[in-house]
Amino acid sequence: MIHRVAMVSLHTSPLDQPGTGDAGGMNVYVLELSRRLATQGIAVDIFTRATSSRLPQVVEAYDGVAVHHVHAGPFEGLAKGDLPGQLCTFAREVLRAEASNPPGYFDAVHSHYWLSGQVGALSRDRWGVPLVHSMHTMAKVKNEALAEGDSPEPEARVIGEEQVVDAADMLIANTDLEAKQLINMYDAEPGRVAVVHPGVDLRVFRPRGRAAARAALGLPARAHVLLFAGRIQPLKAPDVLLRAAAVMLARDPSLRRSLVVPIVGGPSGSGLEHPTGLADLAHELGISDVVRFVPPVRQDELALWYSAASVVAVPSYNESFGLVAVEAQACGTPVVAAAVGGLTTAVHHGRSGLLVDGHDPAQWADALTNAISSHSRWSALADGAREHAQDFSWDLTARNTLEVYEEAKMLMREELTA
């Protein structure tokens, strides 16, 4: 039986505010999965790199969920690309945490992202417990669909991912598509790949009433609100929404009186190189008057923004799943998303939202206009959005993940006795 899990999230803490820096859907995933595992009697220790000397060594996030801030390298100023140089130090500290407890303290290791997978593989061999790994994003997939201005992932990451795939007892894919990518692009054994959908907190992300949400946020009651929420970087493509909004205004200048385009989030990744790039683009397009930039917000306030929106746009070049899409739909708001990666699972085309092939602003303008063109059309999509989101819950994610842990444990035993 699984009683205690070591969760490794090296490059970003699940306690960080999603929507800026390296914090995003993976942070939500790690924390919510851990929380739900704990409610099922599984103790979880999350190991993440400390980014401030002021952070306590251990934070009790929830009953049964402890977040360990591991000292590895300088607290500040260390980019994600520099972290491979700190893997040995981080791994040593993780191993030391187990060594201070009785033998067999952990029953499984679950690593997130390839850097954590490298640490997880070492822990697996040292502790004699199974390694379960979640990729979240993959270099080979990202490099096949780079956004303009984005940099390709280095070969070192590709090699590191291949090593983690080879070392893991089980791999968790968010969708069937991701499972196929692991098998076809990384030569993963099909029997060692399990599909487990991420979830959504349906208590937080629920319809709040559009009029009330808009009043709370200071938005016009009758506006067409086209919302983007997430990290501002080329991969997430918020520029596509701005360009599409400019097309919509060129087609119908009267729309300027009612159009509002909130961008909720902060610069991240290569977007940090030009932190004012999106605001500059809005100025160049002549739409600064309809665009609002909002810093990252807590989940309860984010749910208000979703509820206030007419449509949530997710124009990413790639998403392993797309939690924003499911969160928005849980709030009863239709989603217009790129037909890439996990978004084709997160959004039910024609029922809960619309999927767009490619990133052409004119096509996006067509889809956004389609979604808000009539109240009956919007209402049908909003109803479908709420229904579709009910298929995703963190409790189900935790139960299915626990089954994967048990399967990994069985496979490891078989390997040792072979």
Task: Express each pLDDT in 328-366 by its tens digit.
Answer: 999 999 999 999 999 999 999 999 999 999 999 999 999
**Of 55 and 304, more confident:** 304
pLDDT on residue 271: 42
The pLDDT of residue 164 is: 98
Identify the pLDDT of residue 22. Answer: 67
Binding site per annotation, positions for UDP-N-acetyl-alpha-D-glucosamine:
17-18, 25, 231, 236, 297, 319, 327
Are residue 93 and residue 164 in the same domain, yes or no?
A: yes
CATH code where residue 403 lies: 3.40.50.2000
- pLDDT of 163 reads 98
Give me the mean pLDDT over the 311-333 stretch.
96
Q: Does residue 65 sit within a domain?
A: yes
The answer to whether the Cα torsion of 330, 331, 334, 338 is positive or negative is negative
Structural domain boundaries enclosing 38: 4-199+394-417
Predicted pLDDT at 417: 81
What confidence score (pLDDT) does residue 283 get? Answer: 96
Asked whether 379 and 209 are in contact (CB, 8 A), the reply is: no
Q: Are residues 130 and 118 in the same domain?
A: yes
User: What Cα–Cα distance (Å) separates residue 331 from each residue in 201, 208, 209, 218, 305?
Assistant: 11, 7, 9, 18, 9
Instruction: Note whether 63 and 41 are within 8 A (CB).
Output: no
Helical residues (DSSP H) of 50-192, grouped into ranges: 87-99, 113-127, 139-144, 155-167, 176-186
**110 in helix, strand or coil?**
strand
Assigned domain for 205 exists: no
pLDDT for residue 273 is more than 50:
no
263 and 284 both lie in a single domain = yes
According to the model, what pLDDT value does residue 82 have? 80
For the beta sheet containing 291-294, the strands, ordered from the edge strand earlier in sequence to the opposite edge, are: 291-294, 259-264, 224-229, 311-314, 335-338, 353-356
Annotated binding site for 1D-myo-inositol 3-phosphate: 11, 22-27, 80, 113, 137, 157
Task: Name 276's bridge partners.
Answer: none
User: Tokens in use for 175?
Assistant: 């969708």
- pLDDT of 268: 58
Shared domain for 67 and 133, answered yes or no, is yes
Binding positions for Mg(2+)? 306, 309, 333
| pLDDT computed for residue 40 by the predictor | 95
Same domain for 286 and 352: yes
In the chain, DSSP finds a helix count (H) and a strand count (E) of: 15, 14
Local confidence band at 200 (pLDDT 50, 70, 90 cut-offs): very high
In a domain, 183, yes or no: yes
Can you give the pLDDT at residue 1? 87
For residue range 365-387, list pLDDT tens digits in order: 999 999 998 899 999 999 999 99
What's the mean pLDDT when you consider all of the chain?
Answer: 93
Q: Is 244 in the same domain as 386?
A: yes
Binding-site entries: 11, 17-18, 22-27, 80, 113, 137, 157, 231, 236, 297, 306, 309, 319, 327, 333
Q: Which of 43, 18, 60, 1 has its CA nearest to residue 410?
A: 1
Which percentage of the chain shows pLDDT scores above 70? 96
When pLDDT is averaged across residues 192-204 and rounded to a whole number, the result is 96
Regarding whether 66 and 43 lie in a shared domain, the answer is yes
Is it the case that residue 410 has pLDDT exceeding 60? yes
Tell me the per-residue pLDDT of 254-266, one tens digit each, with 9 for 90 and over: 999 999 999 999 8
The answer to whether position 280 is within a domain reads yes
Q: Are residues 255 and 356 located together in one domain of the fold?
A: yes
Whether the per-residue pLDDT at 29 is higher than 80: the answer is: yes
When divided into structural domains, the chain yields a total of 2
Residue range 411-418: average pLDDT?
A: 83
In terms of Cα–Cα distance, which of 11, 267, 271 is closest to 157? Answer: 11
327 and 187 inside one domain? no
319 pLDDT more than 70: yes
Please count the residues of the chain. 418
Give pLDDT, residue 145: 82
**Which residues have C-beta within 8 Å of that of residue 206, sequence separation ≥ 6?**
303, 330, 331, 332
Torsion angle in degrees (nearest 10) through CA of 390, 392, 393, 398:
160
Q: Which residue has the higher pLDDT, 140 or 149?
A: 140
Domain co-membership, 189 together with 234 = no
Q: Which of 292, 304, 213, 229 is nearest to 260 (CA)?
A: 292
Q: Is the pLDDT of residue 272 over 60?
A: no
What pTM value is reported for the model? Answer: 0.91
Tokens of 411: 């496979």
Mean pLDDT of 283-308: 96
Query: Same structural domain for residues 41 and 121?
Result: yes
